[in-house]
Amino acid sequence: MRLIIPVVIILLGSLVGAAVCYLFKQTQSTMRLSLASGAAGAFAGLVIRDAMDITAGGPAGGALIAAVLGAVIASGLLNIYFKLRTA
């Protein structure tokens, strides 16, 4: 169980990163970076949630919301950077 939850969080963050990359209509090379930044952002969202002691949404719901928001912010910033770099 201790190994399954981090894998689920990584997969959730990667899927959110792929969705954000799809919304920005980026290339295949950016997709790989969006997957990685989504996974890292999901963990960052959880760390920030724990550090700020946010309890909204309950234990499981709040963790999922924090992971998704962290992944959206991280992959969104990455895609905005690449969009501005290629423009």
Choose among 17, 1, 24: nearest CA to 67.
Answer: 17
Q: Is the pLDDT of residue 77 over 70?
A: yes
Q: Structure tokens of 49?
A: 């949630």
So what's the pLDDT on residue 1?
67
Helices and strands: H and E segment counts in the chain:
3, 0
* pLDDT, tens digit (0-9, with 9 covering 90-100), for 1-34: 678 888 899 999 999 999 999 998 877 778 889 9
* pLDDT, tens digit (0-9, with 9 covering 90-100), for 34-44: 999 999 999 99
Q: Structure tokens of 79?
A: 């895609």
Residue 32: count other Cβ atoms within 10 Å of its Cβ. Answer: 13
* pLDDT, tens digit (0-9, with 9 covering 90-100), for 48-68: 998 998 888 888 888 899 999
Backbone angles phi, psi at 21, to 5 degrees: -65, -40
Choose among 4, 82, 9, 2: nearest CA to 42.
Answer: 9
